[in-house]
């Protein structure tokens, strides 16, 4: 009997399990039901694929998503596992063929759409087979409380009842509130399942919220700074998708688009272009992504604020599934709130809902939206905010989000406040009129600009009083004083006057504080750190080879090898088959299949050929 580490190494090329995987695998191997709750990218598929390879009999994997099934089956085949899928993307001729093969026990793992489970032809095909396990992927689809309720998932329970011998049942999901969890266990009829919740944190994702002056420019800057990466840009409306995609294309960026208004054919083509790395950037509405298993997504940018933390985390979580550092950026503008509210209040018609249910849903959505707005405005750790939302404990600072990277402190600015307030007072007293913030700051800083001289402001006793403070910083303090009600500015002209409250500071010792946000020095990130120049060159060669192989086999590049694997390969630079097998992510089958080609390239690069 093989052991699970052997299988992990032989097929997947990994040497260690991630959190939760080993326990879940052991339980299934001992015949127990399991329920695994892991974030996207946490490594759920391996949790049922390894037992499937080790148990006697076949394993059925129920999955809602056609593209995901295709992807996983390609990946399995490329590891030397006999697998197939049954769903509506196949012609009836193809289905007949697959069913015949199933009957002849040609596959170890079969992916199947839930609505196919109860078809006569499928039931007939499996009637004489030993079904060791039924693994339910995206198990939250079974619950009406979940965001992606699929009635066809309810048939899984009926299917299980039809089987002569009950198989092991395992369920997996990334999203699970308590109601959803209860539903999954109850409706699927899990028996004393081992429940493993690995937590929601994805440490390799960096979170950032920006409120840029111009979103198009901010987006362009970001993408152009990462020419070698591919990523997803989410927009909240179809129109915004069209405009943004066009804008990027005009700037020479290889971008494509996806939304529900496009023909099925175009959606299909565009999605494939992105998955197969023919296009770097996918601009899409939230219709895109469910079931996209592409592991090398380097960033997910939200061009608009989404409607809930749940959706945000699910969409942003599509970055960095290969475990490499990746960015999740939200380009926020207060106008996004209006759009989001409008979209919530005008949902697509659903005739099954009563008026009351409809208004209930809207109410709940608005509460979720509030939490999302909170995320965009918080001064606290962004990762902490998300984890808190999902009810998970977390350290106060993560060190890998835009808020943790800048420090905010309450600075005592009382002395400066006094100087600013008395300057405004003097100007009014001595000149008989008021000035706007720019000029006041100029006076205090001791600027020699023409207008200050013309107005003879140089003669004021406060002129140059703050000459060691940059003018921009003086401006910020003036805004802070205005925000705190010590100054008011004329709504049209902008000139400044003191309020009664200013006296408290000038004469009664009241202290003034201001929140200052300082950007910490950027610490170099792992991937950005000056990489070993030798490996950088080799990595390029390996990537080029991967692309060639992927094209020859008409497969997405990441199914050949993931970025993480190529990086390890460049580092180890294996020149023998034994060394090649030591690279993380290289299993036996892939070593046989690709080893020679990669070793040749490496030798050539090292000049040993
Ligand atoms: P999920 O389905 O939970 O979103 P996947 O099963 O797609 O996640 O796994 C995400 C990535 O992590 C895949 O590239 C997979 O090969 C990799 N992975 C899974 N388990 C391990 C492990 N134990 N060691 C290294 N990489 C792993
Ligand atoms: Zn943080």
Q: Which residue, among 215, 418, 430, 500, has the nearest Cα to 335 in the 3D structure?
A: 215
Look at residue 529 in the predicted model and tell me its pLDDT: 45
For residue 403, what are its two tokens? 């808020």
Look at residue 379 in the predicted model and tell me its pLDDT: 82
Domain count, the chain: 4
Q: What percent of the chain has pLDDT over 90?
A: 60
Pocket test for ligand 1, best of 5, 46, 48, 136 (most atoms within 8 A of CB): 46
Model pLDDT for residues 113-147, shown as the tens digit of each residue: 999 999 999 999 999 999 999 999 999 989 877 66
* CB distance 331 to 316 below 8 Å: no
CB under 5 Å of ion ligand 2: residues: 381, 383, 398, 401, 404
SS3 501: coil
My answer on whether 400 and 480 are in the same domain is no
My answer on whether 376 and 461 are in the same domain is no
Model pLDDT for residues 39-49, shown as the tens digit of each residue: 877 889 999 99
My answer on whether 101 and 42 are in the same domain is yes
Cα 144 from chain centre:
24
Q: Is 318 in the pocket of ligand 1 (CB under 6 A)?
A: no
Look at residue 407 in the predicted model and tell me its pLDDT: 64
* Strand segments (E) across 58-167: 58-62, 83-86, 109-112, 131-136
Centre of ligand 2 to C-alpha 375, Å, is 12
Give the separation between CA 7 and CA 542, rounded to whole angstroms: 26
Is residue 350 in a domain? no
Pocket test for ligand 1, best of 22, 43, 48, 559 (most atoms within 8 A of CB): 43
Residues of the chain with pLDDT under 70: 1, 146-147, 176, 291, 349-352, 407-409, 515-534, 608-609
Q: What percent of the chain has pLDDT over 70?
A: 94
What pTM was estimated for this model as a whole?
0.67
My answer on whether 483 and 584 are in the same domain is no
* Domain end call among 381, 405, 429: 405
CATH code of residue 440: 1.10.10.10
My answer on whether 324 and 417 are in the same domain is no
CATH code of residue 232: 3.40.50.300
Look at residue 530 in the predicted model and tell me its pLDDT: 46
* Domain end call among 167, 197, 227: 197
SS3 110: strand
Domain enclosing residue 400, as ranges: 205-339+367-405
* CB distance 495 to 433 below 8 Å: yes
Angle between helices 471-483 and 414-431 in degrees, nearest 10? 90
CATH code of residue 534: 1.10.150.80
Largest CA distance in the chain: 101
Look at residue 417 in the predicted model and tell me its pLDDT: 94
Give the separation between CA 311 and CA 390, rounded to whole angstroms: 12
Look at residue 295 in the predicted model and tell me its pLDDT: 86
Alpha-carbon distance values, 401 to 40, 206, 405, 519, 540 (Å):
19, 5, 6, 12, 29
Centre of ligand 1 to C-alpha 211, Å, is 33
Is residue 354 in a domain? no
Is residue 59 in a domain? yes
Angle between helices 335-345 and 355-377 in degrees, nearest 10? 160
My answer on whether 28 and 166 are in the same domain is yes
Q: Is the Cα dihedral 566, 569, 574, 576 positive or negative?
A: negative
């Amino acid at each position: 009997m093989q052991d699970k580490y052997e299988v992990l190494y032989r097929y997947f090329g990994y040497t260690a399990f991630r959190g939760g995987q080993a326990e879940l695998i052991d339980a299934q191997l001992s015949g127990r039901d399991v329920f695994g709750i892991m974030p996207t990218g946490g490594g759920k598929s391996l949790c049922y694929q390894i037992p499937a390879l080790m148990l006697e009999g076949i394993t059925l994997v129920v999955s809602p998503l056609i593209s995901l099934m295709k992807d996983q089956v390609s990946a399995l085949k490329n590891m030397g596992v006999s697998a197939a899928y049954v769903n509506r993307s196949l012609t009836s001729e193809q289905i007949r063929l697959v069913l015949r093969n199933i009957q002849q026990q040609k596959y170890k793992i079969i992916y199947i759409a839930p609505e196919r489970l109860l078809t006569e032809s499928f039931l007939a095909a499996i009637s004489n087979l030993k079904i060791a396990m039924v693994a339910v992927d995206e198990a939250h689809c079974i619950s009406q409380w979940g965001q992606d309720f699929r009635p066809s998932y309810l048939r899984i329970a009926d299917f299980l009842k039809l089987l002569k011998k009950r198989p092991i049942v395992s369920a997996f999901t990334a999203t699970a509130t308590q109601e959803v969890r209860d539903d999954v266990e109850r409706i699927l009829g899990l028996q004393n399942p081992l429940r493993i919740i690995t937590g929601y944190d994805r440490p390799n994702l960096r979170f950032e919220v920006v409120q840029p002056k111009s979103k198009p420019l901010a987006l362009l800057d970001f993408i152009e700074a990462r020419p070698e990466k591919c990523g997803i840009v989410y927009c909240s409306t179809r129109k915004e998708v069209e405009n943004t995609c066009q804008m990027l294309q005009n700037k020479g960026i290889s971008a494509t688009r996806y939304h529900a208004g496009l023909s099925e054919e175009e959606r299909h083509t565009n999605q494939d272009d992105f998955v197969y790395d023919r296009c770097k950037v996918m601009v899409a509405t939230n219709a895109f992504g469910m079931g996209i298993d592409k592991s090398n997504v380097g960033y997910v940018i939200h061009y608009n604020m989404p409607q809930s933390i749940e959706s945000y985390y699910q969409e942003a979580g599509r970055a960095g599934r290969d475990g490499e550092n990746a960015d999740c950026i939200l380009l926020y503008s207060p106008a996004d709130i209006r759009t989001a509210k409008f979209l919530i209040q005008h949902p697509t018609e659903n005739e099954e809902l009563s008026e009351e249910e409809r208004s209930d849903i809207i109410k709940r959505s608005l509460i979720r939206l509030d939490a999302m707005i909170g995320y965009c405005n918080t001064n606290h750790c962004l990762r902490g905010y998300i984890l808190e939302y999902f009810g998970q404990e977390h350290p106060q600072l993560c060190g890998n989000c835009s808020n943790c990277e800048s420090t905010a402190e309450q600075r005592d600015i009382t002395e400066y406040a006094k100087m600013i307030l008395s300057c405004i007072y003097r100007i009014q007293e001595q000149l008989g009129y008021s000035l706007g913030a720019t000029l006041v700051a100029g006076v205090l800083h001791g600027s020699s600009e023409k207008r200050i001289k013309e107005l003879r402001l140089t003669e004021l006793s406060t002129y140059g009083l703050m000459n060691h403070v940059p003018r921009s910083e003086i401006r910020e303090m003036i805004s802070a004083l205005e925000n705190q009600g010590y100054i008011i500015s004329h709504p049209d002209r902008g000139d400044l006057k003191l309020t009664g409250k200013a006296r408290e500071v000038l004469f009664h010792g009241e202290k003034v504080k201001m929140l200052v946000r300082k950007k910490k020095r950027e610490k170099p990130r792992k991937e950005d750190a000056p990489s070993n120049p030798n490996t950088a060159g080799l990595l390029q060669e390996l990537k080029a080879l991967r692309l060639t192989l992927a094209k020859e086999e008409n497969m997405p590049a990441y199914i050949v090898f993931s970025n993480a694997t190529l990086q390890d390969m460049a580092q180890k630079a294996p020149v023998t088959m034994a060394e090649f097998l030591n690279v993380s992510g290289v299993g036996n089958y892939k070593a046989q299949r690709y080893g020679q080609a990669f070793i040749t390239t490496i030798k050539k690069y090292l000049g040993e050929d």
